[in-house]
Structures are given as structure tokens and as C-alpha cells.
Amino acid sequence: MPNEPSIAALLAWYDGNRRSLPWRAGSGEAADPYRVWLSEIMLQQTTVAAVIPYFARFLTRFPTLAALAAAPLDEVLALWAGLGYYARARNLHACARLVAEAGGFPADPRALRALPGIGAYTATAIGAIAFGLPGIPLDGNVERVLARLFAIATPLPAARPALRAAALHLGADPAAIARASDTAQALFDLGAGICTPTNPDCPRCPWQAACAGHAAGIAASLPRRLAKPARPRRFGAQFWLIDATGRVLLRRRPARGLLGGMSELPGTPWRPEPWTRAEALAQAPMPAAWYHHGEVSHVFTHFALTLGVFSATVSCIEADGYLCPSAALAAEALPSVMRKCVALAQGNAPMTGKRR
Ligand code: SF4
């Protein structure tokens, strides 16, 4: 029978092994709620490695919450371009304005949860890390650690109530209450560095003697998951239209919905059936000698997209949208999928790619 997992043992391990991350306060320093919140929003659905350069650029441009709140949304979207899940950037901006107006982040998970872009997980994480409020945030890393520690073999998502109960049990340990911020971050670090998805390094784990999954020899198979249905496919075409002065036609996507508020090359709707060349060109922004460069692939959470990319050069563009000098495209709020299309139209694209 494994021992009861000790938060004191976890914290002792953390004190000697904590990761140094740009948003993390040093040992014994007070956390900055602005950095904690910004990093937690960026880390939703996104890896630490992908977030680090974006976090640095945001802090350089918006060193304070007030600076972010005062910025136009377009600038925030442009700086976010490439990080994906763009509703996060719109909510980030709306949240910054509300919090700046209120004079700071509330030290209360309920009030945090009422803010744009902050769900139950993020409220618990900010509450614990920035304000030391008791609570164990259950992200994918922590779910994996707890599923193994308590040998929870029910597949996800049905395992969530058992995982929440396990988190409540651990969070009630007096050491977890006394050092709530470190406890949350210790669990993140244990999941990221020791209790990794495919090959947990149990001999180096402070909880090896307490781990029911390790004792049963099933740790690496946990957490179990129900098989996901195949991702549906969609098809479309995008048009790179450039005029004699080197300006490219762009459009702004509707504020709500997928890639809301971001810039794009004009294109067809994205539908389940492939487009023939004639069908696609019937949707081109204007008649021209369109050249087909090939296809770009991109994977969103709920579907996989294949886009044909066409280009044409005309003396004068007469179509809906706005014109952007091609040299200024880097500053546009173009999401990754559109950057792939631009690169292909300019002759230097990868033909396939993933969201991140
Ligand atoms: Fe994960 Fe192994 Fe530690 Fe259990 S003993 S929590 S499986 S690393």
C-alpha cells in the first residue's frame, strides 16, 4: 500500500528543482499578478516553449497592465498573431481594460472568474500563484500527475470528478494551504519535468513511494482517454492580389467566431467539399490572370483545413478590403494559417503545417 502523498516532500523537491520562467517570481519574491495573468492566458492550449517569445514581446511593448489597457485592440491582435486561439487576445484586451479601471486584479477566484477569458482553471491558477489562495489548478499536466498518483483508471473526461476530488484532498494538506503558490507551481514542474506523458521518471520523483499508479505498474498508461472521433476536413482557397505599387489586398475577419478580428487574404468560404479551380476563381476578389501555387494545410482544434493559394498582379485593385504594402505585412494581425498562404504565394512556403 503506497504512503499518503506529502505536500512537504513535493515542496522540498520544488525548492531544489524549480524551473526559472520569465513570468515566475524568484524564490521568496512576491508574484506580479499582471505577469501571472498574462502567462496563464497565453499558456491556455499552448506550450511553455511557444509562449516564452510572445510573453517577452508583450512585456516589452506593454510593460504594465495600464499600457496594455490603453493599446488599440488591433495592436494586441497583431502582437498575438501566430499564437492561435485568437479569442484569447480579444478577451485579454477586454480584461485589461476592466482590471485597469478597477485598479488591479481581485484577490478572489470568484471575482477573477467573472472577468473576460478567465475560466475556473485560470481563476484558481491566478488565485494560487499570484495571491497565495488555496486551490490546486487542474491543467493537463496536473491531471496526469494526479491520475497516476491515485491510480485513477477511468478514462477522461469521465475521470474529472475523481481528479477534482484528488486535488481537493491534496489541497487540504496544511503545507499546501501555507504555500499555495509554490504548491501549484511544484505540480506544474513535476508534470513537465518528471511525470512526463510517455516516460515518467519515477526514480527521481518525490512521490514515488506514495504513487499508486507506479506501485501498480500502470503509471505510463494513465490518464486513459476515450478515443477521439476523427477531425473533419474543410477546404477553401485564398487569393494573394498585389498591385503595381506592391500593395496587397487584405480583409478583416468578423469580430466574432474563428480567428475573429484578425486579418486575412480574401478567400472562399471553408466547406467540407474540395473546390474546383473554376468554383474557387468565381469567388476571387476581381478578375485577373490567377496562378495556382499549391495547397497549404493547417490543423485547428475542431477541423483540418486545406487551402488552395492563388496569386495575381494587377495594375489597380478594385475590390472590398484594404491595401497593405507587402513590406508591412509582418506588422499585420495575420494568423498562422494566413502566414502560410502568404509564404506560399511569395514562393517560400512549407506546404503543410500544424497549428503550433
Ligand atoms: Fe508520476 Fe512516477 Fe511520480 Fe507517480 S512516481 S507521480 S508516475 S513520476
Assess if residue 353 is contained within a domain.
no
Q: How far is CA 96 from the centre of its chain?
A: 18
Query: Is residue 22 domain-shared with residue 137, that is, in the same domain?
Result: yes
Would you say the CB of residue 211 lies under 6 angstroms from ligand 1?
yes
Choose the residue to mutate in 194, 196, 204, 221 for probing ligand 1, maximizing ligand atoms within 8 Å of C-beta: 194
Q: Is residue 196 part of a domain?
A: yes
Say what the pTM is: 0.83
Q: Which residues of 63-97 are buried (b: 16+ CB within 10 A; e: fewer)?
A: eebeebbebebbebbbbbbebbbbebbbbbbebbb
Residues 186 and 255 in one domain: no
* 221, 251, 286 - which closes a domain: 221
Domain membership flag for residue 329: yes
Q: Whose CA is nearest to atom 5 of ligand 1?
A: 208
Contact 86, 262 (CB under 8 A): yes
Residue 226 is assigned to a structural domain of this protein: no
In SS3 terms, 222-272 reads as CCCECCCCCCCEEEEEEEEEEECCCEEEEEECCCCCCCCCCEECCECCCEC
Q: Coil, strand or helix: which one is 313?
A: strand
- How far is residue 139's CA from residue 343's CA, in Å, rounded to a whole number? 35
Query: What was the pLDDT predicted at 1?
Result: 57
Query: Which is it for strands 247-252 and 263-264: parallel, antiparallel or unpaired?
Result: antiparallel
Asked whether the beta carbons of 298 and 337 are under 8 A apart, the reply is yes
Task: Assess whether the C-beta atom of 195 lies below 6 angstroms from ligand 1.
Answer: yes
Report pLDDT for 26.
87
Whether residue 123 contacts residue 113, with contact meaning beta carbons closer than 8 Å, is answered with yes
User: Do residues 281 and 310 lie in contact, with contact meaning Cβ atoms separated by under 8 Å?
Assistant: yes
Q: Is 202 in the pocket of ligand 1 (CB under 6 A)?
A: yes
Residue 55 sits in the same domain as residue 170: yes
In the chain, the number of structural domains is: 2
CA distance 148 to 351: 39
> For the segment 226-242, what is each residue's pLDDT rounded down to a tens digit?
988 899 999 999 999 99
Residues 245 and 214 reside in one and the same domain = no
Q: Is 145 in the same domain as 257? A: no
Given 29, 40, 273, 295, the catalytic residue:
40
Task: Note whether 263 and 118 are same-domain residues.
Answer: no
Show the domain range for 280: 233-348
CA distance 170 to 153: 19
Residues 186 and 263 placed together within one structural domain of the fold: no
How many angstroms separate the alpha carbon of residue 197 from the centre of ligand 1? 10
Residue nearest to atom 2 of ligand 1 (CA): 202
What CATH number should be reported for the domain holding residue 165?
1.10.340.30
Q: And the C-alpha cell for 97?
A: 481594460
Would you say residue 56 lies in a domain?
yes
Which residue has the least CA distance to atom 7 on ligand 1? 219
Give residue for cell 513511494. 209
Distance 215 CA to ligand 1 centre (A): 9
Q: Are residues 115 and 34 in the same domain?
A: yes
36 and 166 in a single domain? The answer is: yes
Domain boundary (171, 186, 221) is at 221
Task: Give the Cα separation of 31 and 25 in Å (integer).
Answer: 5
40 as an active site residue: the answer is: yes
User: By three-state DSSP, how is residue 75 classified?
Assistant: helix
| Model pLDDT, residue 151 | 97
Say yes or no: CB of residue 213 within 6 Å of ligand 1: yes
Instruction: Extract the C-alpha cell encoding 211.
Output: 504513487
Structure-block grid coordinates of residue 13: 523537491
- SS3 state of residue 139: coil
Residues 189 and 310 in one domain: no
The verdict on 109 and 207 lying in the same domain is yes
Element (H, E) at 140: helix 140-149
Check pocket membership of 34 for ligand 1, CB cut-off 6 A.
Answer: no
CA distance 209 to 1: 9
pLDDT for res 352: 36
pLDDT, tens only, 168-201:
999 999 999 999 999 999 999 999 999 999 999 9
CATH of the domain at 251: 3.90.79.10
Distance, CA of 339 to CA of 146 (rounded, Å): 39
Q: Looking only at Cα atoms, what is the longest distance across the chain?
A: 78
pLDDT of 136: 96
Beta bridge partners of 271: 235
| Distance between CA atoms of residues 234 and 303, nearest Å | 7
Q: Split the chain (356 residues) into runs of 10 and give each run's mean pLDDT.
A: 87 96 90 97 94 97 98 95 90 97 96 96 97 95 97 96 97 96 97 96 97 97 92 97 96 91 96 97 96 95 95 95 94 94 79 32
Do 264 and 185 lie in a common domain?
no
Of ligand 1's listed atoms, the one at least distance from the Cα of 208 is 5
221, 250, 272 — which closes off a domain?
Answer: 221
Residue 351 has a pLDDT of 37
Domain contains 356: no
